[in-house]
Amino acid sequence: MISIIIPTLKEEKVIGLILNSLKSNLQLPHEIIISDGGSKDKTIEIAKQYTNKVVVFSGLNRQTIAQGRNDGAKTAVGEFLVFLDADCSIPNPNQFFKMALANFEANKNLVALAGQILVKPEHETRTDKFFFGLMNFLTRIKNNKFNSGDAAGGEFQMIRRESFKLVNGYREDLVTREDRDLFKRLSKIGKVTSDPKLIVYHTGRRAHQVGWSRLVVLFLINTVHFHVFDKVFSKEWTEIR
């Protein structure tokens, strides 16, 4: 069984699209878990139309996406945990997850799986093609050649639940790079891989609103800071809707 976990915060504009697609097209045994960070819009109302597993954060401080994913995982019963972002889309979910499961069936030592992340064609720019193409290429090299662990942009991660528990899930103190950190730790206990046939689309909204130049600088600063101090430079990841 697959447990699909989607962290949300004020996602009323997009959450219905991915949930409707999964409900209408995914026939494999699965459950959908929405882990909401305390939305004040219609996100929770929409989510409850598709699943009765809606976890709502009640803390005083803003929830990190790592906390949201971990909270969702705590309620999961599937053998595999799938983490998706709210603005993602998968054209053929049933075929997609059949191919994803085939990776795990072919390699019993496989603990985590990443795919190819692309911007939806109607939103994609030439700059998107370059940067996401580069990111997908580097992720495949890191995972498939060196098993060093990388999760591309974090829009799709599929992990054996027992392996996720073994490494204690995502680091909740990280407001960014939490996906890469998790795959790095998972690579220490088993095989991680990237399958380019598993294509997940998203809106590209962060790069489009923040700007690629600024986003690349933020990425580099946080990467260096993390490797030197074991924590990221950013104190909060700006909410983009």
Domains of the chain, with CATH numbers? 2-204 (3.90.550.10)
Mean pLDDT of 153-182: 95
Question: Is residue 239 over pLDDT 90?
Answer: no
pLDDT of residue 93: 97
Q: What is the pLDDT of residues 9-36, one digit of tens each?
A: 999 999 999 999 999 999 999 999 999 9
The whole-angstrom separation of Cα 34 and Cα 12 is 13
- pTM for the model: 0.96
Give yes or no for a contact between 151 and 139, defined as CB atoms under 8 angstroms apart.
yes
pLDDT of 153 > 80? The answer is no
Tens digits of residue pLDDT in 85-126: 999 999 999 999 999 999 999 999 999 999 999 999 999 999
Q: How confident is the model at residue 240 (pLDDT cuts 50, 70, 90)?
A: confident
Per-chain mean pLDDT for the chain: 95
List the one residue out of 8, 209, 15 whose CA is nearest residue 123. 209
Question: What are the tokens at 195?
Answer: 């399958």
Taking Cα atoms as reference points, which of 64, 49, 40 lies closest to residue 15?
A: 49
pLDDT at 77: 97
- What was the pLDDT predicted at 69? 98
Report whether 131 contacts 210 (CB < 8 A). no
Tell me the pLDDT tens digit for each residue of 179-227: 999 999 999 999 999 999 999 999 999 999 999 999 999 999 999 999 9
- DSSP notation for the chain: -EEEEEEESS-TTTHHHHHHHHHHH--SSEEEEEEES--SSSHHHHHTTT-S-EEE---SSPPPHHHHHHHHHHT--SSEEEEE-TT-B-S-HHHHHHHHHHHHHH-TTEEEEEEEEEE-TTT--HHHHHHHHHHHHHHHIIIIIT-----TTSSEEEEEHHHHHHTTSS-TT-SSSHHHHHHHHHTTTSEEEEEEEEEEEE--HHHHHH-HHHHHHHHHHHHHHHHHHSS-S-SS-----
